[in-house]
Structure 1
Amino acid sequence: MSSEPITVTEQSVRAALVGYPHRVEDRPDLRPASVTITLTGSADTANSVLITRRAPKLRAHSGQWALPGGRCDDGETVVEAALRELAEELGIQLDESAVLGRLDDYPTRSGYLMSPVVLWAGDVGQRGPRPLRPRRAEVAAVYGIPLEQLDVEPNLLSIPESDAPVIQIPLMGRFLHAPTAAVLYQFREVVLHGRATSVAHFEQPVFAWR
Protein backbone atom coordinates (compact mmCIF):
# COMPACT_ATOMS: atom_id res chain seq x y z
CA MET A 1 0.00 0.00 0.00
CA SER A 2 1.22 3.51 -0.77
CA SER A 3 2.42 5.41 2.31
CA GLU A 4 1.61 8.82 0.82
CA PRO A 5 -1.90 10.03 -0.08
CA ILE A 6 -2.80 9.45 -3.71
CA THR A 7 -4.60 12.28 -5.46
CA VAL A 8 -6.17 12.33 -8.89
CA THR A 9 -8.10 14.90 -10.86
CA GLU A 10 -11.27 14.63 -12.84
CA GLN A 11 -9.22 15.19 -15.98
CA SER A 12 -6.56 12.58 -15.18
CA VAL A 13 -9.11 9.86 -14.46
CA ARG A 14 -11.08 10.68 -17.59
CA ALA A 15 -7.89 10.54 -19.67
CA ALA A 16 -6.92 7.14 -18.23
CA LEU A 17 -10.35 5.69 -19.00
CA VAL A 18 -10.55 7.20 -22.49
CA GLY A 19 -7.31 5.40 -23.23
CA TYR A 20 -8.67 2.09 -21.99
CA PRO A 21 -10.97 0.14 -24.38
CA HIS A 22 -13.33 -1.38 -21.83
CA ARG A 23 -14.76 -4.76 -22.72
CA VAL A 24 -18.52 -5.13 -23.24
CA GLU A 25 -19.84 -8.68 -22.80
CA ASP A 26 -22.71 -10.11 -24.85
CA ARG A 27 -24.45 -12.19 -22.19
CA PRO A 28 -28.23 -12.24 -22.71
CA ASP A 29 -28.42 -15.05 -20.14
CA LEU A 30 -27.44 -12.57 -17.39
CA ARG A 31 -29.40 -9.67 -15.93
CA PRO A 32 -27.75 -6.30 -16.67
CA ALA A 33 -26.64 -4.29 -13.64
CA SER A 34 -24.51 -1.22 -12.95
CA VAL A 35 -22.14 -0.39 -10.13
CA THR A 36 -20.49 2.95 -9.50
CA ILE A 37 -16.92 3.73 -8.62
CA THR A 38 -17.71 7.13 -7.15
CA LEU A 39 -14.71 9.38 -6.59
CA THR A 40 -14.90 12.12 -3.99
CA GLY A 41 -12.48 14.88 -3.05
CA SER A 42 -11.79 18.56 -3.49
CA ALA A 43 -8.87 20.97 -3.46
CA ASP A 44 -8.83 20.65 0.34
CA THR A 45 -9.47 16.92 0.76
CA ALA A 46 -7.86 13.73 -0.54
CA ASN A 47 -9.58 11.46 -3.04
CA SER A 48 -11.67 8.52 -1.89
CA VAL A 49 -13.97 5.88 -3.39
CA LEU A 50 -17.36 5.28 -1.80
CA ILE A 51 -18.05 1.73 -0.61
CA THR A 52 -21.16 0.58 1.22
CA ARG A 53 -22.03 -2.21 3.60
CA ARG A 54 -25.33 -3.71 2.58
CA ALA A 55 -28.17 -3.70 5.09
CA PRO A 56 -28.48 -6.92 7.14
CA LYS A 57 -32.11 -7.57 6.18
CA LEU A 58 -31.69 -7.47 2.41
CA ARG A 59 -32.81 -10.62 0.62
CA ALA A 60 -29.56 -11.06 -1.34
CA HIS A 61 -25.95 -10.49 -0.25
CA SER A 62 -26.98 -8.93 3.07
CA GLY A 63 -24.19 -7.47 5.17
CA GLN A 64 -21.61 -7.66 2.37
CA TRP A 65 -19.34 -4.87 1.17
CA ALA A 66 -20.46 -3.45 -2.16
CA LEU A 67 -20.18 -0.59 -4.59
CA PRO A 68 -23.35 1.49 -4.98
CA GLY A 69 -25.46 0.02 -7.77
CA GLY A 70 -28.09 -2.47 -8.81
CA ARG A 71 -29.95 -3.99 -11.72
CA CYS A 72 -30.88 -1.95 -14.77
CA ASP A 73 -34.56 -1.21 -15.29
CA ASP A 74 -36.17 -2.12 -18.61
CA GLY A 75 -35.02 0.28 -21.34
CA GLU A 76 -32.40 1.86 -19.08
CA THR A 77 -28.79 2.28 -20.15
CA VAL A 78 -25.88 1.24 -17.95
CA VAL A 79 -25.04 4.90 -17.23
CA GLU A 80 -28.65 5.82 -16.44
CA ALA A 81 -28.90 2.92 -14.02
CA ALA A 82 -25.63 3.88 -12.32
CA LEU A 83 -26.75 7.47 -11.73
CA ARG A 84 -30.19 6.38 -10.52
CA GLU A 85 -28.82 3.78 -8.12
CA LEU A 86 -26.31 6.23 -6.63
CA ALA A 87 -29.12 8.72 -6.01
CA GLU A 88 -31.40 6.07 -4.50
CA GLU A 89 -28.79 4.45 -2.26
CA LEU A 90 -26.72 7.42 -1.11
CA GLY A 91 -28.76 10.49 -2.05
CA ILE A 92 -26.02 11.83 -4.36
CA GLN A 93 -27.55 13.46 -7.42
CA LEU A 94 -25.24 13.55 -10.45
CA ASP A 95 -25.84 13.90 -14.17
CA GLU A 96 -24.02 12.42 -17.15
CA SER A 97 -21.36 15.14 -17.04
CA ALA A 98 -20.02 13.35 -13.93
CA VAL A 99 -19.32 10.15 -15.90
CA LEU A 100 -15.57 9.70 -16.42
CA GLY A 101 -15.70 6.36 -18.19
CA ARG A 102 -16.29 2.65 -17.78
CA LEU A 103 -14.39 -0.49 -16.91
CA ASP A 104 -14.90 -4.04 -18.18
CA ASP A 105 -18.23 -5.81 -17.81
CA TYR A 106 -17.91 -8.52 -15.16
CA PRO A 107 -20.21 -11.58 -15.19
CA THR A 108 -21.15 -12.58 -11.65
CA ARG A 109 -21.91 -16.02 -10.32
CA SER A 110 -25.21 -14.73 -8.93
CA GLY A 111 -26.59 -14.10 -12.42
CA TYR A 112 -25.74 -10.48 -13.27
CA LEU A 113 -23.63 -8.77 -15.89
CA MET A 114 -22.03 -6.04 -13.81
CA SER A 115 -21.02 -2.87 -15.68
CA PRO A 116 -18.78 -0.52 -13.64
CA VAL A 117 -19.23 3.21 -14.26
CA VAL A 118 -16.65 5.66 -12.87
CA LEU A 119 -18.13 8.92 -11.57
CA TRP A 120 -16.73 12.17 -10.21
CA ALA A 121 -18.78 13.37 -7.24
CA GLY A 122 -16.35 15.98 -5.90
CA ASP A 123 -16.89 17.31 -2.40
CA VAL A 124 -19.22 14.87 -0.64
CA GLY A 125 -20.09 14.76 3.05
CA GLN A 126 -22.50 15.90 5.67
CA ARG A 127 -21.32 19.51 5.32
CA GLY A 128 -20.42 19.44 1.65
CA PRO A 129 -22.44 20.58 -1.35
CA ARG A 130 -23.48 16.94 -1.89
CA PRO A 131 -24.43 15.51 1.51
CA LEU A 132 -24.62 11.75 1.92
CA ARG A 133 -28.12 10.47 2.67
CA PRO A 134 -27.87 6.67 2.76
CA ARG A 135 -31.11 4.77 2.29
CA ARG A 136 -31.13 2.70 5.48
CA ALA A 137 -33.32 -0.02 4.02
CA GLU A 138 -30.43 -0.86 1.67
CA VAL A 139 -27.28 0.64 3.19
CA ALA A 140 -26.05 -0.10 6.69
CA ALA A 141 -22.96 2.09 6.37
CA VAL A 142 -20.96 4.02 3.79
CA TYR A 143 -17.20 4.55 3.77
CA GLY A 144 -14.86 6.80 1.85
CA ILE A 145 -11.82 4.64 1.10
CA PRO A 146 -8.66 6.68 0.36
CA LEU A 147 -7.05 5.74 -2.93
CA GLU A 148 -3.79 4.72 -1.25
CA GLN A 149 -5.70 2.00 0.61
CA LEU A 150 -6.82 0.57 -2.73
CA ASP A 151 -3.28 0.62 -4.11
CA VAL A 152 -2.44 -2.85 -2.82
CA GLU A 153 -1.55 -6.19 -4.31
CA PRO A 154 -4.46 -8.65 -4.15
CA ASN A 155 -4.48 -12.10 -2.58
CA LEU A 156 -5.21 -14.93 -5.01
CA LEU A 157 -6.71 -18.10 -3.54
CA SER A 158 -7.49 -21.55 -4.90
CA ILE A 159 -10.82 -23.23 -4.22
CA PRO A 160 -11.94 -26.76 -5.12
CA GLU A 161 -15.10 -25.48 -6.83
CA SER A 162 -13.26 -23.61 -9.62
CA ASP A 163 -10.03 -23.63 -11.61
CA ALA A 164 -9.92 -19.83 -11.56
CA PRO A 165 -8.18 -17.89 -8.75
CA VAL A 166 -10.36 -16.11 -6.20
CA ILE A 167 -9.31 -12.48 -5.77
CA GLN A 168 -9.29 -10.68 -2.42
CA ILE A 169 -8.20 -7.14 -1.53
CA PRO A 170 -7.04 -6.47 2.05
CA LEU A 171 -9.05 -3.50 3.28
CA MET A 172 -9.98 -2.06 6.69
CA GLY A 173 -8.50 -4.99 8.58
CA ARG A 174 -10.39 -7.63 6.60
CA PHE A 175 -10.76 -8.83 3.01
CA LEU A 176 -12.91 -7.48 0.22
CA HIS A 177 -13.99 -10.18 -2.23
CA ALA A 178 -15.01 -10.32 -5.88
CA PRO A 179 -16.96 -9.07 -7.69
CA THR A 180 -16.28 -5.77 -5.85
CA ALA A 181 -12.60 -6.67 -5.35
CA ALA A 182 -12.17 -7.47 -9.06
CA VAL A 183 -13.71 -4.15 -10.14
CA LEU A 184 -11.63 -2.09 -7.71
CA TYR A 185 -8.45 -3.95 -8.63
CA GLN A 186 -9.04 -3.10 -12.29
CA PHE A 187 -9.68 0.54 -11.32
CA ARG A 188 -6.35 0.54 -9.47
CA GLU A 189 -4.52 -0.93 -12.44
CA VAL A 190 -6.07 1.23 -15.16
CA VAL A 191 -6.48 4.57 -13.38
CA LEU A 192 -3.70 4.62 -10.78
CA HIS A 193 -1.02 2.78 -12.77
CA GLY A 194 -2.03 3.08 -16.44
CA ARG A 195 -1.99 -0.69 -16.95
CA ALA A 196 -4.57 -2.36 -19.21
CA THR A 197 -5.36 -5.24 -16.87
CA SER A 198 -8.23 -7.68 -17.39
CA VAL A 199 -10.06 -9.15 -14.40
CA ALA A 200 -12.56 -11.42 -16.18
CA HIS A 201 -10.61 -14.51 -15.15
CA PHE A 202 -10.87 -13.81 -11.42
CA GLU A 203 -13.28 -15.97 -9.46
CA GLN A 204 -15.69 -15.05 -6.67
CA PRO A 205 -15.91 -16.84 -3.32
CA VAL A 206 -18.57 -19.52 -3.10
CA PHE A 207 -20.71 -17.50 -0.69
CA ALA A 208 -21.16 -14.88 -3.45
CA TRP A 209 -22.47 -17.42 -5.98
CA ARG A 210 -26.02 -17.20 -4.63
Structure 2
Amino acid sequence: PAVRPWRAIWWRPRAALRAAAAAPAPLSTALWAALAGVSGLFAWAAWRGLGAEARPGEVLVIVLLAGVPLGLAALIIGGVLLRTSGQWRGGHAGARQVRAVLALAFAPVAGGLPLWLLQLALLPAASFGGLPLATQGPLLWLCWGAHGLLWLWAAGLSVGGLAAAHGISPWRAAASWLLAGLIVAGGLGVLFGGSALVIGLRGG
Protein backbone atom coordinates (compact mmCIF):
# COMPACT_ATOMS: atom_id res chain seq x y z
CA PRO A 1 0.00 0.00 0.00
CA ALA A 2 1.04 3.59 -0.65
CA VAL A 3 2.63 5.40 2.28
CA ARG A 4 0.89 8.56 3.44
CA PRO A 5 3.75 10.56 4.95
CA TRP A 6 1.69 12.70 7.33
CA ARG A 7 0.19 9.61 8.93
CA ALA A 8 3.17 7.27 8.71
CA ILE A 9 5.58 9.78 10.28
CA TRP A 10 4.27 8.80 13.73
CA TRP A 11 5.04 5.08 13.47
CA ARG A 12 7.04 4.53 10.26
CA PRO A 13 9.24 7.64 10.11
CA ARG A 14 11.84 6.33 7.68
CA ALA A 15 9.24 5.21 5.15
CA ALA A 16 7.36 8.48 5.60
CA LEU A 17 10.44 10.61 5.00
CA ARG A 18 11.41 8.62 1.90
CA ALA A 19 7.87 8.97 0.54
CA ALA A 20 7.84 12.72 1.18
CA ALA A 21 11.18 13.14 -0.60
CA ALA A 22 9.99 11.08 -3.58
CA ALA A 23 6.66 12.89 -4.03
CA PRO A 24 6.59 16.34 -2.38
CA ALA A 25 3.11 17.74 -1.64
CA PRO A 26 3.37 21.56 -1.54
CA LEU A 27 0.06 22.24 0.22
CA SER A 28 0.66 19.75 3.02
CA THR A 29 4.24 20.96 3.32
CA ALA A 30 3.09 24.57 3.76
CA LEU A 31 0.37 23.58 6.24
CA TRP A 32 2.69 21.67 8.54
CA ALA A 33 5.36 24.36 8.32
CA ALA A 34 2.79 26.96 9.38
CA LEU A 35 1.62 24.80 12.30
CA ALA A 36 5.20 24.18 13.40
CA GLY A 37 5.83 27.93 13.22
CA VAL A 38 2.88 28.60 15.52
CA SER A 39 4.06 25.94 17.96
CA GLY A 40 7.59 27.33 17.86
CA LEU A 41 6.31 30.81 18.62
CA PHE A 42 4.35 29.45 21.59
CA ALA A 43 7.69 28.16 22.88
CA TRP A 44 9.21 31.60 22.38
CA ALA A 45 6.27 33.25 24.18
CA ALA A 46 6.72 30.92 27.15
CA TRP A 47 10.48 31.51 27.27
CA ARG A 48 10.02 35.27 26.89
CA GLY A 49 7.31 35.41 29.59
CA LEU A 50 4.94 37.15 27.18
CA GLY A 51 1.99 36.36 29.43
CA ALA A 52 3.32 38.80 32.01
CA GLU A 53 2.70 41.62 29.54
CA ALA A 54 -0.29 40.34 27.54
CA ARG A 55 -3.55 38.56 28.29
CA PRO A 56 -4.06 34.96 27.07
CA GLY A 57 -6.19 36.09 24.13
CA GLU A 58 -3.54 38.58 23.08
CA VAL A 59 -0.82 35.94 23.36
CA LEU A 60 -2.87 33.68 21.08
CA VAL A 61 -3.37 36.42 18.48
CA ILE A 62 0.32 37.35 18.47
CA VAL A 63 1.39 33.72 18.13
CA LEU A 64 -1.05 33.02 15.29
CA LEU A 65 -0.32 36.18 13.33
CA ALA A 66 3.45 35.90 13.62
CA GLY A 67 3.89 32.11 13.78
CA VAL A 68 2.35 31.26 10.41
CA PRO A 69 4.53 33.59 8.27
CA LEU A 70 7.61 32.77 10.33
CA GLY A 71 7.05 29.05 9.83
CA LEU A 72 6.64 29.49 6.08
CA ALA A 73 9.66 31.81 5.84
CA ALA A 74 11.80 29.35 7.81
CA LEU A 75 10.69 26.57 5.46
CA ILE A 76 11.64 28.52 2.33
CA ILE A 77 14.98 29.75 3.66
CA GLY A 78 15.79 26.38 5.22
CA GLY A 79 14.95 24.62 1.96
CA VAL A 80 17.44 26.73 0.03
CA LEU A 81 20.21 26.52 2.64
CA LEU A 82 19.86 22.78 3.24
CA ARG A 83 19.65 22.06 -0.47
CA THR A 84 22.92 23.92 -0.98
CA SER A 85 24.74 22.54 2.06
CA GLY A 86 23.52 19.02 1.28
CA GLN A 87 24.74 19.25 -2.29
CA TRP A 88 28.13 20.37 -1.00
CA ARG A 89 28.18 17.13 1.01
CA GLY A 90 27.40 14.98 -2.04
CA GLY A 91 23.59 15.15 -2.06
CA HIS A 92 21.31 15.62 -5.03
CA ALA A 93 17.95 16.88 -3.70
CA GLY A 94 16.24 20.02 -4.90
CA ALA A 95 14.76 22.68 -2.64
CA ARG A 96 11.24 21.27 -3.09
CA GLN A 97 12.28 17.85 -1.81
CA VAL A 98 14.18 19.38 1.09
CA ARG A 99 11.17 21.51 2.05
CA ALA A 100 8.93 18.44 2.01
CA VAL A 101 11.08 16.41 4.41
CA LEU A 102 11.83 19.46 6.55
CA ALA A 103 8.15 20.21 7.14
CA LEU A 104 7.44 16.54 7.78
CA ALA A 105 10.32 16.30 10.24
CA PHE A 106 8.82 19.08 12.32
CA ALA A 107 5.42 17.38 12.54
CA PRO A 108 6.15 16.47 16.21
CA VAL A 109 6.63 20.17 16.98
CA ALA A 110 3.28 20.91 15.33
CA GLY A 111 1.86 17.98 17.31
CA GLY A 112 2.63 19.92 20.49
CA LEU A 113 0.05 22.58 19.58
CA PRO A 114 -2.86 20.99 21.52
CA LEU A 115 -0.71 20.95 24.65
CA TRP A 116 0.23 24.61 24.17
CA LEU A 117 -3.44 25.53 23.76
CA LEU A 118 -4.35 23.63 26.93
CA GLN A 119 -1.59 25.42 28.82
CA LEU A 120 -2.80 28.78 27.51
CA ALA A 121 -6.39 28.00 28.51
CA LEU A 122 -5.80 26.37 31.90
CA LEU A 123 -2.38 27.56 33.11
CA PRO A 124 -1.70 30.85 31.33
CA ALA A 125 0.14 32.65 34.13
CA ALA A 126 2.29 29.68 35.06
CA SER A 127 3.08 28.75 31.44
CA PHE A 128 3.60 32.17 29.90
CA GLY A 129 4.18 34.47 32.87
CA GLY A 130 7.93 34.05 33.06
CA LEU A 131 7.87 32.35 36.47
CA PRO A 132 11.05 30.55 37.61
CA LEU A 133 11.01 26.86 36.71
CA ALA A 134 11.44 25.82 40.35
CA THR A 135 8.10 27.46 41.27
CA GLN A 136 6.01 26.00 38.44
CA GLY A 137 5.16 22.60 39.91
CA PRO A 138 5.22 19.01 38.60
CA LEU A 139 2.34 19.41 36.14
CA LEU A 140 4.16 22.07 34.16
CA TRP A 141 7.41 20.17 34.45
CA LEU A 142 5.66 17.31 32.66
CA CYS A 143 4.47 19.73 29.97
CA TRP A 144 7.98 21.09 29.43
CA GLY A 145 9.35 17.56 29.34
CA ALA A 146 6.80 16.59 26.69
CA HIS A 147 7.66 19.63 24.57
CA GLY A 148 11.36 18.88 24.93
CA LEU A 149 10.89 15.30 23.75
CA LEU A 150 8.86 16.47 20.75
CA TRP A 151 11.62 18.91 19.78
CA LEU A 152 14.28 16.23 20.17
CA TRP A 153 12.20 13.89 18.02
CA ALA A 154 11.88 16.58 15.37
CA ALA A 155 15.64 17.19 15.45
CA GLY A 156 16.33 13.52 14.81
CA LEU A 157 13.75 13.39 12.02
CA SER A 158 15.22 16.51 10.41
CA VAL A 159 18.60 14.82 10.08
CA GLY A 160 17.06 11.58 8.81
CA GLY A 161 14.81 13.48 6.41
CA LEU A 162 17.69 15.43 4.92
CA ALA A 163 19.63 12.19 4.51
CA ALA A 164 16.63 10.60 2.74
CA ALA A 165 16.12 13.57 0.42
CA HIS A 166 19.77 13.92 -0.58
CA GLY A 167 20.61 10.22 -0.59
CA ILE A 168 23.48 10.71 1.85
CA SER A 169 24.42 9.25 5.22
CA PRO A 170 22.97 10.67 8.46
CA TRP A 171 26.45 11.92 9.38
CA ARG A 172 26.68 13.90 6.16
CA ALA A 173 23.15 15.18 6.74
CA ALA A 174 24.11 16.33 10.24
CA ALA A 175 27.16 18.06 8.76
CA SER A 176 24.88 19.75 6.23
CA TRP A 177 22.73 21.10 9.06
CA LEU A 178 25.85 22.37 10.81
CA LEU A 179 27.07 24.02 7.63
CA ALA A 180 23.70 25.70 7.07
CA GLY A 181 23.79 26.96 10.65
CA LEU A 182 27.26 28.39 10.12
CA ILE A 183 26.07 30.16 6.97
CA VAL A 184 23.20 31.75 8.90
CA ALA A 185 25.47 32.71 11.80
CA GLY A 186 28.01 34.19 9.40
CA GLY A 187 25.36 36.17 7.57
CA LEU A 188 23.95 37.55 10.81
CA GLY A 189 27.45 38.39 12.00
CA VAL A 190 28.16 40.34 8.83
CA LEU A 191 24.79 42.11 9.05
CA PHE A 192 25.12 43.20 12.67
CA GLY A 193 28.83 43.88 12.38
CA GLY A 194 28.24 46.06 9.34
CA SER A 195 25.42 47.90 11.10
CA ALA A 196 27.61 48.55 14.14
CA LEU A 197 30.40 49.81 11.88
CA VAL A 198 28.09 52.21 10.05
CA ILE A 199 26.69 53.51 13.34
CA GLY A 200 30.22 53.95 14.68
CA LEU A 201 31.36 55.84 11.58
CA ARG A 202 28.37 58.16 11.88
CA GLY A 203 29.23 58.80 15.49
CA GLY A 204 25.96 57.35 16.74
Question: What TM-score do you get using the length of structure 1 for normalisation?
Answer: 0.24
Between structure 1 and structure 2, the one with the greater Rg is 2
Pick the structure with more strand per residue.
Answer: 1
Using CA pairs below 8 Å that are at least 6 residues apart, which structure has the higher relative contact order? 2
Pick the structure with more helix per residue.
Answer: 2
